[in-house]
């Protein structure tokens, strides 16, 4: 049986192993623990070729991104297989081994084409699932979503979108306060799709009910799309969706996404949410666009044009223009959280185990025996050195 051995400081769910070893065989982790404790003894480990993490670096589990529109110049909203493949490869090379391809609000034909292309990418093994963001969103909180193509909830269109995904649509972001939202939520739950609360002005009660219904129906947490972004700010006399989301997550009914890239959220806000909810209720995401990993310039975000300046994507020129997605990789988001004061183990959990729980992915997504062979070897600055997916090194 062929084996791959990786040695270094391991970040596991329970403890950091300072001199650890991961053994991968048949695409699974078959040993995770102290190098001296590997079956056959430390001498066996010393005699085998071993991939070593850099000094003061780490071995992390492969990352899981629930919300990603593209990267490397490629877009999941394009409907073009080459563009989709390029975007998936960009994030894989930077440590995201389980990626959810996110589409955007567009004309119906464009959305159906994009969802079908993303489903093709799932079946080709490039991404793990499909996320449909829109078109059933609040006009007042649409952000970079194209208001010309927003619609009231429509079970017929939702059925077409889910059908185009051929069983791979796992999440649909929608505003639960809109007219006819309740039949839409019921349909999505019947199809096993998470109705993520986002781009919304819903009351706390509506948010909590939607998230509780999701947990009851699917047996796993509901989801809040990029908490704070695309919704009114928390106010002591108008608590809005933020209060409902925090309460639902605290009760175990939801996971909240955080685009913790230093642009969408202040570092103190990120740290406070971790302190309030714990890493088991936070999913770090990128909300990345085609501009991720690319230089400043002009890019497309679905049907809209985006300008990136100093690494920040906006719909048009000017510092006051709306943000238009992210330009970071998920490992960059993890690093930003650690720099902001979040414990490394918590940041890693929020970028692996927690998002995987929302998707209902089979098996653990952590450095534990039996998990799929997904690894990221990083240096002391949490920058990628080598990436393994399903037991194979990437590149």
* pLDDT tens for each residue of 181-222: 999 999 999 999 999 999 999 999 999 999 999 999 999 999
> H or E stretch including 262?
none
**Average pLDDT over the chain, rounded to whole?**
95
Q: Dihedral, CA atoms, 328, 332, 337, 338, nearest 10 degrees?
A: -170
Sorted by where each starts, the structural domains of the chain and their CATH numbers stand as 3-60+367-393 (2.30.40.10), 64-359 (3.20.20.140)
Q: What is the DSSP string of 88-136?
A: HHHHHHTTEEEEEEEE----HHHHHHHHHHHHHHHHTTS-SEEEEE-SS
Task: Provide the CA 146 distance to its chain's centre, in angstroms.
Answer: 22
Decide: helix, strand or coil at residue 381. Answer: coil
pLDDT score at 207: 98
pLDDT score at 311: 93
**Which residues have C-beta within 8 Å of that of residue 271, sequence separation ≥ 6?**
337, 340, 341, 342
CB atoms within 10 A of CB 380: 12
pLDDT score at 381: 97
Closest by CA to 45, choosing from 53, 35, 34, is 35
Bridge-based pairing state of the strands 254-258 and 222-224: parallel
Average pLDDT by stretches of 10, the chain with 395 residues: 89 92 95 87 59 94 98 95 96 98 97 98 98 98 94 98 98 98 98 98 98 97 98 97 98 98 98 98 97 94 90 82 94 98 97 96 92 97 97 90
Rg of the chain over Cα atoms, rounded to whole angstroms, equals: 20
């Amino acid at each position: 049986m062929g084996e791959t051995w990786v040695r270094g400081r391991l970040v596991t769910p329970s403890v950091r192993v300072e001199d650890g070893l991961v053994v991968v065989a048949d695409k699974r982790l078959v040993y995770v623990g102290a190098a001296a404790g590997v079956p056959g003894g430390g001498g066996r480990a010393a005699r085998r070729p071993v991939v070593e993490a850099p000094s003061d670096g780490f071995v992390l589990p492969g990352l899981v991104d629930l919300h990603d529109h593209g990267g490397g110049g490629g877009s999941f909203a394009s409907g073009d297989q080459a563009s989709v493949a390029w975007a998936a490869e960009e994030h894989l090379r930077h440590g995201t081994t389980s990626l959810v391809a996110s589409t955007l609000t567009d004309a119906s034909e464009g959305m159906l084409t994009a969802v079908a292309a993303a489903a093709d990418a799932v079946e080709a093994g490039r991404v793990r699932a499909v996320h449909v963001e829109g078109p059933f969103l609040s006009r007042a909180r649409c952000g970079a979503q194209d208001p010309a193509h927003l619609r009231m909830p429509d079970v017929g269109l939702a059925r077409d979108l889910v059908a185009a995904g051929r069983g791979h649509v796992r999440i649909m972001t929608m505003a639960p306060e809109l007219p006819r939202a309740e039949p839409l939520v019921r349909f999505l739950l019947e199809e096993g799709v998470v109705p993520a609360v986002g781009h919304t002005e819903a009351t706390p009660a509506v948010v909590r009910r939607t998230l509780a219904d999701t947990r009851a129906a699917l047996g796993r947490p509901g989801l809040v799309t990029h908490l704070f972004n695309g919704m009114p700010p928390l106010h002591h006399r108008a608590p809005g969706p933020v209060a409902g989301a925090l309460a639902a997550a605290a009760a175990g009914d939801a996971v909240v996404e955080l685009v913790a890239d230093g642009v969408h959220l202040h570092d103190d806000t990120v740290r406070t949410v971790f302190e309030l909810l714990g890493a088991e209720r936070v999913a770090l995401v990128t909300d990345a666009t085609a501009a991720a990993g690319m230089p400043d310039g002009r890019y497309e975000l679905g049907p809209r044009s985006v300008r990136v300046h100093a690494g920040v994507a906006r719909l048009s020129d000017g510092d006051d223009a709306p943000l238009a997605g992210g330009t970071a990789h998920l490992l960059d988001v993890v690093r930003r959280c650690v720099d902001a004061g979040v414990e490394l183990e918590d940041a890693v959990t929020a970028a692996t185990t927690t998002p995987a729980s929302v998707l209902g992915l089979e098996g653990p997504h952590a450095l534990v025996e039996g998990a799929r062979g997904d690894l990221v070897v990083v240096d002391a600055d949490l920058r990628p050195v080598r990436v393994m997916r399903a037991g194979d090194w990437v590149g």
